[in-house]
Amino acid sequence: MKVMQQFRNLTVLSLALTCGAAAPIMAIENNVAVKPPVAKKVPKADTLHGDTRVDNYYWLREKSSPEVIDFLNAENAYTDSVMKPTEPLQEALYQEMVARIKETDLSVPTKNGEYWYYTRTEQGKQYQINCRKKGSLEAKEEVILDQNELAKGQKYLGLGAFTVSDDGNLLAYSTDITGFREYTLHVKNLQTGETLSDSVPKVISITWAADNKTLFYTTIDAAKRPYRLYRHSLGTTQNELVYEEKDELYTIGAYRTKDKKYIFCTSQSSDTTEDRYIAADQPQAAWKIVLPREKGHEYSTDSWGGQFFLTTNDQAKNFRVVSAPIADPVRKNWKEFIPHNPNVLIQGVDFFAGHAVVSEYENGLPKLRILDMKTNKSHRIEFPDPAYSLSAASQPEFNTTSCRFSYQSLVRPSSVFEYDMNTHERKLLKQTDVLGGFKPEAYESQRLFATAKDGAKVPVSVVYKKGLKLDGKNPLLLYAYGSYGISMPDSFSSSRLSLLDRGFVYAIAHIRGGKEMGEIWHDQGKLMNKKNTFTDFIACGEMLIEKKFTSKEKLVIEGGSAGGLLMGAVTNMRPDLFKVVVSHVPFVDVMNTMLDASLPLTVGEYLEWGNPNEKDAYFYMKSYCPYTNIEAKNYPIILVKTSLNDSQVMYWEPAKYVAKLRATKTDNNLLMLKINMAAGHGGSSGRYDALKETAFDYAFMLTQLGVVK
């Protein structure tokens, strides 16, 4: 009888999920209908620029209120009840994903000083174990930090900074145990295993001086802005303030050059930079400025051969590289090293004893250029796939003729190569194992272009199982981000195979707001051009439908954070175009957040979104803000996910968005909110927990489209 009743419940809910219902969807739990929670309305009016906005759900900001927590728990209870019948599918997906990964594994060892450093994972353990071996890889292993031990008794663990002193005796690292992006500095004696008393809260970047006893670190203010640089001498209570960045548009960070000669403190806004420096072997020295800040001038500084090398946008929209004497690095003393190319974005330069590795972007794809420091001759490393992800791998050794890079594509797992910069020979050091018989040749990837509203050509990367018939009947998951100049990598995912093997097409829209097509691509997708980001995404969806990759009835879209803003905006603009929307930690309450200068990120992001205290920016922002523009009309099926301890997009944004949407929309399509009550912006920190979250998302998508295999 019990089994039969469960079957009936599953059947009723499945019909509601896939076919719609005459009333708001209810879950069946122990024969009792579980209705979606309805948030009370407490109007709060705000007037600016002669315009009055009314927020009925402002009260959800009170995190300490039992009523708010009860409401969030009610949302979770509803979501859990709706998804209850999918638990067997979630478990099947989770087991598929786990079966593809090599649970006990090693990273590629990296040499730094006398030691080889690496991480390893063990079956059943959520976190990495940091290890090293002295002299050679045949030496005895030394565990320097077991993150699983640190995580005991905690619901969350995030590892921030991780840096070893020059003599290899001390480890400085930072941890966050809430997900709220508040890291605490710890120092461990690697000779004795003792954790020292030198502990500092709210630390971001950390770097060692050459004396093996002086640490420089940055701390955050109440709005999570890194704004102070301190000098700390181990074994003392001395924490000397070196520099405070008072301009709220700027954040600071500390780093040390690869040749280990200098320590830098960078002050930067999204369009202006100012670097300070000292010699690493003179930690008590007075700090000097490389170039004073000038509005719009972005630069980064490195040292090589007794000179500074600046990657600068001075007279170079996509950046150029110049050398300058350390004693007087002003413009009149610059010498051109890498000239500006309007078609190539220089993202960064990694200097070695005899070479420089230049990270570039051209025509939407990442490139690596190797430059000989003696001859100034250069060449690029070529790659086979039409769409791929590429980055210079971390390599602290300066005196070497070999560099490393990480390469992957939509059909090829992540691979680490060693490249001889003199002979041009490459050697595969490790390719991530994908178990279960995975074969890259069983899948096909393409690179397409959609035509935007204004005629711009927007790259779209696509992958699917080879042999799939492109007849417009395939389910398709379209992902995008499109903000802050962040370019979306065409990376591999073994978890994604669970969708591809069930007939899904997966696509990434490289929309404006990123930098795939250079700095202009970012400029055309921010501030008063922000709507290009949304119309680009819509154009990509329409192109994929036109080319018969999918249809409106089979199109799923997904994005997170600023990509969640994208989800909200395009869903308001074209709700007819998408069947299912999955929105992670979405930045959907743009107006209220950007008018609250006390929140993390707000002031510093005026240069990305605009300052709504200015009239034109206010009304432009209001015209696309997802929360503001919810209307009484039909919307797609929507899953919104957030975390209670998110410090980047506060939990109340998605909570308010769902509450207003549920009260306003005219359809009966499923709308769910899932809140992780013990995590931050990135969701669960453990690798197995993260896979379970992905399995949940996939089960939701598959169920909504009726693709349950």
Q: Running DSSP on this structure, what letter comes out for residue 314?
A: T
- Which among 87, 80, 86 has a CA at the least distance from the CA of 29? 80
The partner residues of 446 in beta bridges, in order of sequence, read 462
| Residue count (the chain) | 709
- Residue found by looking up tokens 């025509």 in the block: 363
CB 337 within 8 A of CB 371: no
| Of 241, 223, 216, 119, the residue nearest 181 (C-alpha) | 223
DSSP result, 46-75: EEETTEEEEETTGGGG-TT-HHHHHHHHHH
381 contacts 371 by C-beta, under 8 angstroms:
no
CA–CA separation, 321 and 313 (whole Å)? 9
Residue 463 Cα to chain centre, angstroms: 21
CA–CA separation, 479 and 504 (whole Å)? 13
Q: Which residues, 6+ apart, have CB-to-CB distance to 672 below 8 Å?
A: 36, 75, 78, 79, 82, 83, 638, 639, 640, 658, 700
Distance CA 508, CA 99 (A): 26
Give the integer Cα–Cα distance in Å for 210 and 221.
28
Distance, CA of 286 to CA of 272 (rounded, Å): 23
Beta-bridge partner residues of 528: none
Of the candidates 164, 236, 98, the one whose C-alpha atom is nearest the C-alpha of residue 687 is 98
User: Which of 550, 565, 585, 392 is closest to 460 using CA atoms?
Assistant: 550
End-to-end CA distance of the chain: 26
Structure tokens at 42: 């407490």
CA distance 273 to 180: 27
Buried b (16+ CB within 10 A) or exposed e, 473-502: ebbbbbbbbbbbbbbbbbbbbbbbbbbbeb
475 contacts 556 by C-beta, under 8 angstroms:
yes
Cα(658)–Cα(71) distance, integer angstroms: 12
Looking at the annotation, which residues are catalytic?
561, 646, 681
Kindly state the tokens that stand for 672.
């769910």
Beta carbons within 8 Å of 416's beta carbon, 6+ residues apart = 108, 393, 404, 405, 406, 428, 429, 430, 431
Cβ-defined contacts of 493-499 (< 8 Å, 24+): 494/97, 494/100, 494/101, 494/413, 494/432, 494/434, 494/438, 495/97, 495/100, 495/691, 495/694, 495/698, 497/96, 497/100, 497/434, 497/438, 498/93, 498/96, 498/97, 498/698, 499/475, 499/698, 499/701, 499/702
